[in-house]
Amino acid sequence: MIPVRRISITAASVVAVSCIAFGGQTLGPNVTKAEAAQSGASCNNQIITTSGQIPSKGSANTQANRNCLLAQGNYGTAVFALQLSIGYCYGLSTGSPPGRPDAIFGGVTKASLKTIQGRIGTGQDGVYGNNTHNKMQFWQRYQNGRHYCYLDPTKVS
C-alpha cells in the first residue's frame, strides 16, 4: 500500500498564496486586485506626524504614501497604527488587550472598523481605504492622563 500524505490548508497558507498572487501585497478576502491597484495597494508601514500615527505604504510623509488599503488578512506596522486609533480614539476592541495591539487585521478589528465607519459616515465595508482615512481620527499621544486623537489634514483621493 502506498502511503498517502494529507495536505491541510490553513489561514497562513492562504495568506502566503495571496501574497504571491498579488506581488507581495497581502489583501483581504473582499478586496479585488483592481481595488488594490486603484487604492495604491496594501499599507505596510506608518507615518508618525503631528496628526498621529497613520497607516501608509512607505515611511515618507507624503500624500501618495497615505493612499493605501488595509483589510482582513493584513498584518504589520500599518495594522498596528490602525489598531491604536481604533482602541484609543474610538474605545473599541481589536481582539487584543487594550493598549497592546497585535498588528493582525482579524475579524474583531474588521468589526470595530465597520462600527467606526458607521460613526464617521463612510461605507461600512470593514476595509481601511481613502474614504475611511479622510474621516477617521488617528492616535497621536498620551499625556496628562488623556489620549489625543486628530484628523489627518492631508486628504487622499
All domains of the chain in start order, with CATH: 11-151 (1.10.101.10)
Note the pLDDT of residue 99.
67
How many Å is the maximal CA-CA distance in the chain? 71
Length of the chain: 157
Distance between CA 75 and CA 96 in Å, rounded?
A: 14
Q: Cα 16 vs. chain centroid, distance in angstroms?
A: 18
CA distance 34 to 83: 26
Q: What is the mean pLDDT of residues 18-47?
A: 52
- pTM (2 d.p.): 0.73
pLDDT of residue 49: 87
Taking CA atoms, 47 is separated from 55, 61, 80, in Å, by 6, 6, 12
Instruction: Flag the least confident range among 17-26, 73-82, 120-129.
Output: 17-26
